[in-house]
Amino acid sequence: MPLFGSRLPADVRTALAGERPLSHARTPSGAFVVATLTALHLPDGERLPWHRVHKAVWDQQGVTIILGDATEHRLDLPRPGLLPETIRERVTNSIVASRYVRLGEHGVRLVARRIAGQDGVVWEYAYDAGLDPDNPGTRAALEQALEEVRRSLGV
């Protein structure tokens, strides 16, 4: 067995469509979870680009990946190897800026994320409970706050 764990089988590497694997782990069924420079590849073939991953919550059995839209993916990984460190590094690397701004009584976190392999950033919004993102006043205040943050950060 290689020093740092098993090698990826050819069919798994092929499924990565040319993306460079950084680390991987096996599920109890023997399927692979693979972290590449641009995404986390799940055993079912789903590809989660790093800019969509909000956070990863680890426990003794594995990890729960939470996306920005609150979708969750649970992965049992009894021997995660270097995958936890890789996921943390790639998600952190995707964040260009993060600012919390008040919009009246409540606020919103504005997060600029880079998309691997592309120029520019995408902005995510995490609203406080009680803040209605569909309210026209909230949307106007958010647009103004976003413009101020963009200007101040040069993003």
**Domain end among 93, 117, 137:** 93
Same domain, 21 and 78: yes
Contact (CB, 8 A) for 39 and 9: no
Identify whether the C-beta of residue 10 lies closer than 8 Å to the C-beta of residue 36.
Answer: no
Helices and strands counted in the chain (H then E): 3, 10
Which of 78, 93, 108 corresponds to the end of one domain? Answer: 93
In this prediction, residue 155 carries a pLDDT of: 81
Amino acid sitting at position 49: P
Same-domain check for residues 104 and 142: yes
User: pLDDT at position 70, please?
Assistant: 85
Which DSSP letter does residue 135 get? S
Q: Which domain holds residue 110?
A: 95-153
pLDDT in tens, 4-18: 456 899 999 999 999
The reported pLDDT for the residue numbered 120 is: 86
Q: What pLDDT shows up at residue 5?
A: 52
Asked if residue 60 lies in contact with residue 73, where contact means CB atoms within 8 angstroms, the answer is no
Query: Could you tell me if 14 and 87 lie in one domain?
Result: yes
Answer whether residue 3 shows pLDDT above 60. Answer: no
| Structural domain contains residue 1 | no
pLDDT tens digits, 24-48? 999 999 999 999 999 999 999 999 9
Whether residue 1 is predicted with pLDDT greater than 70 in this model: the reply is no
What's the rounded mean pLDDT across residues 78-88?
96
Average pLDDT value for residue range 73-93: 96
Q: Partners of 24 in the beta sheet?
A: 34
Question: Given 93, 121, 143, which residue is the final one in a domain?
Answer: 93
User: Does 2 reside within a domain?
Assistant: no
Tens of pLDDT, residue by residue over 98-154, are 999 999 899 999 999 999 888 889 999 989 999 999 999 999 999 999 999 999 988
User: 138 with 132: CB under 8 angstroms?
Assistant: yes
Number of domains observed in the structure of the chain: 2
